[in-house]
Amino acid sequence: MIELEIFGRPEPLNSTKVARNGHFYNPKQKEIDKSKWQLKSQYNGELIKGAVELKVNYYFRVPKGTSCVKRKQMLANIIKHTKRPDRGNLDKFVEDVLKGTIIADDSQVWKLTGTKLWCADWEREKTIIYAFPEL
């Protein structure tokens, strides 16, 4: 098992855009590059070439102005994180960040389980990735 952590608010991946000159670009490329640097500092092994199972936890801060009762329920995971961003875009972002740093291609991911959770105000928003390469 490989455990990796990306600090900062979990970012969803948007589709590519077309510039005025007709070229395609990815508006989230800076966030992808920043996250790749964080992963490279944590993992210095060879690229995984086989099938990989991923379990990902996305931590978001409880919004300001939330009542104490709701805050406690959110932190106890009684009230689930059902707000934006949606998990599909978050998962795609993680796959793109792992591509070329941990795994050779994002098509190697055969199973991905993602969970959106709340974290307290004093904790950092982050993404924790558990990679299970097939032996």
pLDDT in tens, 61-119: 999 999 999 999 999 999 999 999 999 999 999 999 999 999 999 999 999 999 999 99
Residues 10, 14: Cα–Cα separation, whole Å: 13
Domain count for the chain? 1
Could you tell me the residue range of the domain that residue 16 belongs to?
2-133
Closest CA to 62 of 49, 46, 48, 74: 74
CATH code, 115: 3.30.1330.70
Within 8 A by CB and 6+ apart from 62, the residues are: 71, 74, 75, 118, 119, 120, 121
Give the pTM.
0.89
